[in-house]
DNA sequence: GTCTATATTCCGATAGAC
DNA sequence: GTCTATCGGAATATAGAC
């Protein structure tokens, strides 16, 4: 059992439910049945832990891009949407939705990582929409870059708003969002 | 000079820059040159202060709806966009963008207020889009309610993302967003 | 009515035990 | 290499001074 990875798992969950500034080493230590100071052995500072969470997410993004490279654009997007649907069911928001509001309070190394993560998601989304135009599986108004920002924004916000206003909001938003890029929504 | 109102001003700024969990009574006391404990005279608990900030915002929303009731829908929307543009210039995010990510950590009375605020913004945006269809100043795909969620989401996210990725992102997002509802963007 | 001194709790981090 | 005892500081909140 990899304690280090277990700590990152718990930190990610805490960031996505309570936020970076609202969780403590104690929250993690309680679950692992060790003292909070023990976490400092694996991650000397809280910033190190935050960076580790984001770094792992960056790896997942890079990995998915490679794995899904041969799929049609609409299928790639469907897989992304699936991840958000899973988050919605658990009441988890995405890392960008949690970390960008706290951006100005984050320690410098973590700020840099968040910036990289935001850009990585945006780049991937833009590339995906471009591909969709080429392979004919997607259609939309405007440029891929401009539309990618709106898609990313809607996915991020759907988790924020549905947690406050109710789960139906998530379905309603995704329905209209996917229609805007002419992607058939399987779920509705 | 109204100390109470001054405290609410500072609290709103702090929530919109650092977030609810990252600011302290000390941040406010420092500016007012009093001890942090003095704030407790005006707002016994931090939750009371948060509720006061949201309550004032709710009043502003109600007031604007009345004031702008006779304007065409596109002009009403332009005024809302103007507010977000002002926020963007100062690096402030909106109250919903700041408080919904922290939702699960907020004290119960504040949670209730945030929910009411979210719903109030959504209701107003929905009504505005409905009016736009009637007076012919707006056109868009889908229902007013569904489109309102996407507009609200884009406005909220534009402040989050532009602070991290750069101001151009704000202009880019608003450009595409307003095109989606066939509203001419004066700024670009 | 307005504010200060003080109590209490909690957090992140260091030093050192095993 | 892994974890615990403990420090120092900061946060919210109470009790009471002026």
E runs forming strands in A25-70: none
Looking up tokens 């005279």, which residue turns up? B41
- Cβ burial of A36 (10 Å; 0-12, 13-18, 19+) is middle
Question: In what helix (H) or strand (E) does residue B86 lie, and over which residues does it extend?
Answer: helix B73-90
**How close, in Å, is residue B115 to chain A by CA atoms?**
6
- Asked if residue B14 lies in contact with residue B93, where contact means CB atoms within 8 angstroms, the answer is no
CATH number of A57-180: 1.10.357.10
pTM of the model: 0.97
Q: What is the per-residue pLDDT across B52-88, written as a single tens digit (0 to 9) for each?
A: 999 999 999 999 999 999 999 999 999 999 999 999 9
Quick one: which of B62, B44, B57, B43 has its CA closest to B15? B57
B25 CA vs C11 C1’ separation (Å)? 17
Mean pLDDT, residues A154-179: 98
Q: For residues A32 and A35, what is the distance between their CA atoms, to the nearest angstrom?
A: 9
pLDDT tens sequence across A48-70: 999 999 999 999 999 999 999 99
The spacing between the Cα labelled CA in A108 and the C1' in C8, in angstroms, equals: 32
- Which pair of tokens denotes residue B89? 């210039």
Tokens coding B4:
């109470």
Section A10-37 average pLDDT: 98
Contacts A158 to B, Cβ<8 Å = 153
What residues contact residue B186 under an 8 Å CB cut-off, 6+ apart?
B78
Interface touch A149/B164, C-beta < 8 Å: no
Tens digit of each residue's pLDDT (9 = 90 or more) over A176-185: 999 999 998 7
| A-B contacts (CB, under 8 Å) | 144
- The predicted pLDDT at position A8 comes to 98
- What average pLDDT does this structure show over A117-134? 98
Contact predicate B94/A137, CB 8 Å:
no
Tokens standing for A8?
A: 């990152």
The reported pLDDT for the residue numbered A188 is: 54
Cα–Cα dist A8/A41, whole Å? 13
Instruction: Flag residues of chain B having pLDDT under 70.
Output: 1, 186-188
Q: Domain ranges in chain B? A: 57-180
Percent of chain A with pLDDT over 90: 97
**From the CB of residue A68, how many other CB atoms can be counted at a distance below 10 Å?**
17
Positions on chain C within 7 A of a protein C-beta: 2-6, 10-16
Q: Is the shortest CB-to-strand distance from A110 to strand C under 7 Å?
A: no
- Strand C atom within 7 Å of B103 CB: no
Mean of the pLDDT values across residues A85-103?
98
The contacts of residue A131 (CB under 8 Å, 6+ apart) are A72, A73, A76
- Residue A187: its pLDDT value, please? 61
């Amino acid at each position: 059992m990899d304690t280090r990875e277990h700590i990152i798992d718990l930190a990610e969950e805490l960031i996505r439910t309570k936020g970076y500034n609202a969780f403590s080493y104690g929250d993690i230590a309680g679950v692992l049945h060790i003292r909070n100071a023990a976490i400092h052995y694996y991650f000397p500072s809280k910033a190190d832990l935050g960076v580790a969470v984001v770094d792992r997410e960056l790896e997942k993004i890079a990995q998915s891009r490679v794995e899904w490279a041969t799929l049609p654009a609409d299928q790639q997007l469907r897989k992304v949407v699936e991840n958000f649907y899973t988050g919605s069911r658990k009441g988890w928001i995405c890392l960008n939705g949690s970390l960008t509001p706290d951006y100005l309070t984050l320690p410098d190394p973590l700020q840099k990582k968040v910036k990289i993560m935001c850009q990585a998601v945006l780049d991937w989304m833009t590339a995906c929409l471009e591909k969709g135009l080429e392979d004919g599986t997607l259609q939309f108004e405007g440029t891929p870059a401009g539309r990618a920002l709106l898609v990313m924004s809607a996915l991020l916000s759907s988790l924020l708003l549905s947690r406050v206003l109710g789960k139906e909001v998530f379905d309603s938003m995704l329905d209209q969002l996917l229609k805007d890029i002419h992607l058939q929504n399987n779920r509705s």
